Structure formats: structure tokens, C-alpha cells
Structure 1
């Protein structure tokens, strides 16, 4: 759920004058959508496969295509702003996953490169797959890690951005 913090912060910074509710809602969904690839486990798609967990759906190309498609469907007044917002919302998922300390990394550059990558600094505790595994001491450690490395910094960034935006009005 912490992936939604990125578009939430972006929506607070940009404001309703630049983003419509449908665009904001789509951004929140897009931020979490790449993890829908876990359905592949049920179909025997290997984790390390291009379409496995943290594969193609975590790539920048996937985020760009999805953002352009959604912006075309939503037809917002500010098309470019909406498309960039949606791209950042979805692309941030793979980028945040690169900051985790487990898994195989994210296929950020798929289809040009099937490699999985981590950032040089991986401070975020990797989340267990599945709700039942999350409700545990490990889940609590993940939540505290995400609070420190995602929620607190984005709250400060959103507050600063909101303050700057209010000052300009």
C-alpha cells in the first residue's frame, strides 16, 4: 500500500486545478498495479520470468504505455500533466522496489534488458507476498521501514510543495 504514497503526494502538490479526481484515482491504482503480476504464480509463471513478479509490469516502458493509454481514455483537460503524473505513479513502483532489501530486483528496463536491478542503497525491508504473511512481526518491520523511508519523506515533500503552491496563489 505504500506505493500509493507517491501519487498521493503528487496530487497534494499539484492540486485539483491541475488533476481531476479520475486522474488522481487512476494514479493511486497505477502505483499498486504492477504487483498484479503475482497472479502469475497461480499460472506457474516463474518469478524470474520476464512476466514474473517484478518483471515487465515494473518497467518504465510498461508505465509509459499505461500512462498514455489511460490519459487517452480519461481525456483530461491537462493531458500532458495527467500523462506525466500517471507515468510517475506507475514508474515509482519499480523504483521503490529497487530500494528493497530482497527479491530479485526490478526489471526496470524491460524489454530492452531482462536484468533485474536494485539501487546501490536498499534501506526498505522487502514485503512478504500475501496478506497472511504480512500480518506478522515481519509485517510490522516492513511497515516501520516504509514509514521511515517512504511516508515521512513524501509527507515532508508534499508539505513543502503544498506550501510553495499556496504561497504562489
Structure 2
């Protein structure tokens, strides 16, 4: 979907996890991964690939397999980039898969090949809460709908994650002291 907020899930997740776990360079990789699935439109526009084929829009690049492959690339690049391998894999894979999951929420489109290559069929949800029909591809109406349905929930999750992380980290010295006392006894 030509959305303004495909980059919001990795930003929210990075905020919730903090800079120590998700450095700026990994956050940027996640943002890039979150918009990369729409590269399939280049096949449609310039290579003459049918819109609804596996190499067309919402095909291969919108699959879990593609997300896992990008996560693997991030894990392989982790040492060179100064990232923790497991976090890089999960962060980039989740950032990538957030794209087709957001697409599934829209009330338009042909569904996504989420389970390709295991299943060729396109997946749609019976409930599509993001009402984009009639909103146009771009513009203020679409932007505000996305802010309501995507931005606001993700901001709430990010803020909750930040608060939880800060609470856990603030309480950490007290737990260490209590553990040290228990071990000394």
C-alpha cells in the first residue's frame, strides 16, 4: 500500500527496545526493510510483470520467507555493522513483515502472498479496519486515517515499551543489591 507509515513499526520497536539494543544504524536498516517490499512495483511498472503474479505487487516480497531472508542478511552483516546478531535478525525480519501485515489491514488490494512459497494463494483478512477505499492513493485523508489506525496504536505501544524498559532498568540496581546480599548470607 502506498502508505506514509510503513516505517512506523520499526521506529516504534526501536524506541521500545532502546538504543543499546537497536543502534541508529540498525534502526535505519529496519526502516529500509519496512518499505522494501514495495520494490515489487518496479517489476509491474518497468518489466511488464502482471500485478497479481508472484513477482508482481504483494507477491514474493510481501512473504514471510522474504522477511526471514532479509533478517538473515542483517544477521550476517551484524558483526561488521556492530549489531548483535540475534537482535539484528529479529529486528529486520519483524520490520520487513510489518509491511505486508499493515497491507492486510487495508480495505483495498488483492491480498498478500504472505506464505509464499509454501502457498501461492493471496491472504486477506475478513476484517480490514483501515478504510482506504475512497481516500485516494495519497493526500490528507489517507494520512489522517493512517495516523489514527497505525500511528496512534504504535505510538502507544512504543511509549509503553519505553516506560516498561525504563522501569526495569531503574529497578535493576536494587535487584542486584538484593541478590548480592542473598548470596553473601
Which residue of 75, 98, 105 corresponds with 2:104? Answer: 98
How much has 1:126 moved relative to structure 2?
Answer: 4.2
How much has 1:120 moved relative to structure 2?
Answer: 2.3
Pairwise mapping of residues 17-56 of structure 1 onto structure 2 (< 5 A)? 17-41=20-44, 42-56=46-60
TM-score (normalised: structure 2): 0.82
Count of aligned pairs between the two proteins: 162
Residues 103-135 of structure 1: CA deviation (Å, up to 9, x unaligned): 10111001111111112211214489xxxx744
1:163: which partner in 2? Answer: 163
Residues 64-123 of structure 1: CA deviation (Å, up to 9, x unaligned): 011111221232442111210111000010111011111101110011111111122112
Contact 1:22-1:74 within 8 A present in 2 as well: no
2:63: which partner in 1? Answer: 59
- The DSSP-based 3-state class of the residue aligned with 2:146 is helix
- The DSSP-based 3-state class of the residue aligned with 2:7 is helix
| Superposed CA RMSD | 1.7
Instruction: Report the CA distance shift for 1:62/1:127 in structure 2 as closer, same or farther (over 3 A).
Output: farther
Q: Distance in 2 between matches of 1:162 and 1:77?
A: 20
- Long gaps (5+) in structure 2: 170-185
TM-score (normalised: structure 1): 0.89
Q: Which has the greater radius of gyration?
A: 2
Q: Distance in 1 between matches of 2:16 and 2:37?
A: 24
Deviant stretches of 4+, over 6 Å? none
Pairwise mapping of residues 97-116 of structure 1 onto structure 2 (< 5 A)? 97-116=103-122
- Long gaps (5+) in structure 1: none
Q: Distance in 2 between matches of 1:23 and 1:77?
A: 7
Contact 1:124-1:142 within 8 A present in 2 as well: no
2:150: which partner in 1? Answer: 150
